[in-house]
Amino acid sequence: MTDVDSSAEETARIILDCGAVHTRTGGEPFFFSSGWASPVFVDLKRLISYPQARRRLLALALDRIAAELPAGSFQQVAGCELAGVPFATIVADRLDLPLVVALKQARGFDRLSQFEGTFEPGTSTLLVDDLTTDGRTKQSLKAALERAQAHVVGIFVFFNYGIFPAAADILSLTTLADVVRVAERDGMLAADALRNLKGFAEDAPRWSHRHGGIAGI
């Protein structure tokens, strides 16, 4: 098992242990803001309330970032409004780097109207969020950073569903496939929930469309 695989499984176990994986096997599915229907919702925001889990996730995240991005390759961290802010804050704090918050909508008309905080043109930036579904929000906020003349060197999330069409350049610690594998191996989800998740993971757009969600971007 590679270091990346080991980190993915450990992250998945932490997410499951903290009760962040919610499943529905009957009735109405979860609907994401992006329009996808899903039998599973991963509430990564819960993890900020668990100090030990939070510290371990941060250590895993910093190792993953360091493995993919050369030392000194970014000068600031940008957190995605709203759920990504606490995660970006602890990453920036541990790395002793400036932090800005990327807003989903502009609140003014100047260069930094879509940000809380400040940075100079050309500042190399790592965009951080808690998770991603299809990557659209991250790409939108990356574009906002670029309009503000930042140089975005990478996008990092702790969890990527990994089954929707998504930007290939998003780094992550773990995916839904990892969560399902760990849950099945360690008996952490009911059998009917696991069957449903596996069917969903095989063709998420089709599953979404059949259950009232969008079928593609």
Q: Convert the pLDDT of each residue in 182-211 to its tens digit.
A: 999 999 999 999 999 999 999 999 999 999
Report whether pLDDT(167) > 90. no
What is the model's pLDDT at position 156? Answer: 97
Q: What is the pLDDT of residues 38-61, one digit of tens each?
A: 999 999 999 999 999 999 999 999
Mean pLDDT confidence for 105-121: 95
Q: Cα–Cα distance between 198 and 203 in angstroms, integer?
A: 9
Cβ contacts of 96 within 8 Å, gap of 6 or more: none
What DSSP string runs through 44-93? Answer: GGGGGG-HHHHHHHHHHHHHHHHHHS-TTS-SEEEEETTTHHHHHHHHHH
Place of tokens 């009957």: 26
Terminal Cα distance for the chain, rounded: 34
Q: How many residues does the chain have?
A: 217
